[in-house]
Copies of this chain bind each other. A is one copy, B any other.
Amino acid sequence: MTTYSFLDDYSEGAHPQILQALTATNSVQQAPYGEDAYSHEAKAKIRSHLANPDCAIFFVASGTLANIITIGSFLRPHEAVIAAASGHIVTRETGAIEAIGHKIITVPPVNGKLTPDGIRAALEANAHFPHMAKPRLVYISNATEIGTIYSKAELQAISDLCRERKLILYMDGARLGAALSGYQNDLTLTDIGLLTDAFWIGGTKVGALLGEAIVITNPSLAEDFAFHIKQRGGLLAKGRILGLQFQELFGPTNLFFNLALHSNAMAKKLATGITNAGYELAANTETNQVFPILPNALIASLSKLFAFYVWEKRGEHNSVIRLVTSWATEEAQVDRLVEAINSETVSTNV
């Protein structure tokens, strides 16, 4: 019997509704390179959530491509990015931003997030011009890499600072669905459209086969953007498969938000079950990641039944593990994991 995985939120394929749509439209001939009817319709649906009539929307296959293309298109060679040291572009994209020529100035994160103070400190420490790269774009992730989310007030404060200091505000939304469906969330897509210059909406982790939607709300940044998509390898001949998936995600069934809600609910249930079993969490469960602190012996037992990452040690006998839920997480497996924790706790305590 194989273990059930809580390793990540991309272990399965796509939500069945998406596969059905792909199958249903498969033989319809469409224009290539994103000029298909589905892409146009998907853009209209996303735009209906936004107050930016001039915004430009583009679909690409991966989050790293979204970051490469967007940042590379927005910046001149001497301009730098400010990001939290925990940012995905800093720690998990193999130097992709540097590979296209831009320095990333890092700031220690606060609860996984960038703050106005952090940005100000980066600006002050990087002002010896022209001997230093010029800070020009602020990169934030929402949800963050540890599952925390930005409040509306936090995003407003960063946005105000960016406008005052002529910085482009850019949001990596690999898990934007989870963020917008977070229990404490008070942000809407409309807010994000008004407060940032550009952001992207992650499809892959919310239940698509693949695909991210880049939204450029500042029209001056959208000029010639399609060239950059093509130049960096992001222009799919069958762009229809990206458009169609976003048409489904933002269609009448509200799939984008509902899948994220399920994902977050499963995490919440896990968190509640684990704390009820007497264990602490290393971080609040704001979206779809749970970080319980468990005895090493219990972790060893659990790992026979479930797959997950051991995140870091806590003293001699305990460790933090990371459990990620997704649109596909089966509630029965959540129950089974909580039960396993409870029963193993009894057995190992005896």
Report which A residues bind B (CB closer than 8 A): 2, 4-5, 7-8, 10-14, 16, 19, 22-23, 25-32, 60-62, 64-69, 72-73, 76-78, 80, 91-96, 98-104, 128-134, 204-205, 209-210, 224, 226-238, 240-241, 328
Contacts and interface: CB of A to CB of B under 8 A. Distances in A.
B27 A22 contact: no
A266 to B, nearest CB: 15
A164 to B, nearest CB: 19
A100 B232 CA distance: 9
A99 B104 CA distance: 11
Given A94-B132, A129-B227, A25 B11 contact: no
Closest A-B pairs by Cβ, 8 of them: A65-B233, A95-B133, A78-B227, A95-B103, A13-B26, A94-B231, A64-B233, A130-B226
B92 A131 contact: yes
Q: Copies of this chain, how many?
A: 4
A96 B4 CA distance: 42
Contacts of A230: 64, 93-94, 96, 130-131
Contacts of A4: 29
A240 to B, nearest CB: 7
A20 to B, nearest CB: 8
Contacts of A210: 61, 236-238, 241
Nearest to A209: B241
A257 B71 CA distance: 40
A27 B207 CA distance: 11
A230 B129 CA distance: 10
Given A12-B29, A98-B98, A91 B132 contact: yes
Contact of A228 (B78, B103, B241): B78
B95 A78 contact: yes
A98 B103 contact: yes
A12 B32 contact: no
A234 B31 CA distance: 24
B32 A8 contact: yes
Contacts of A68: 232-233
Contacts of A91: 128, 131-132
A176 B93 CA distance: 31
A72 B95 CA distance: 14
Given A80-B95, A230-B94, A230-B130, A62 B8 contact: no
A238 B13 contact: yes
A11 B32 contact: yes
Given A224-B76, A233-B65, A16 B11 contact: no
A13 B32 contact: no
Contacts of A25: 13
Given A11-B32, A16-B26, 4 more contacts: A13-B238, A61-B233, A64-B230, A69-B233
Listed residue (A69, A93, A227) with the most chain B CB atoms within 10 angstroms of its CB: A227
Contacts of A231: 64, 77-78, 93-96, 99, 133
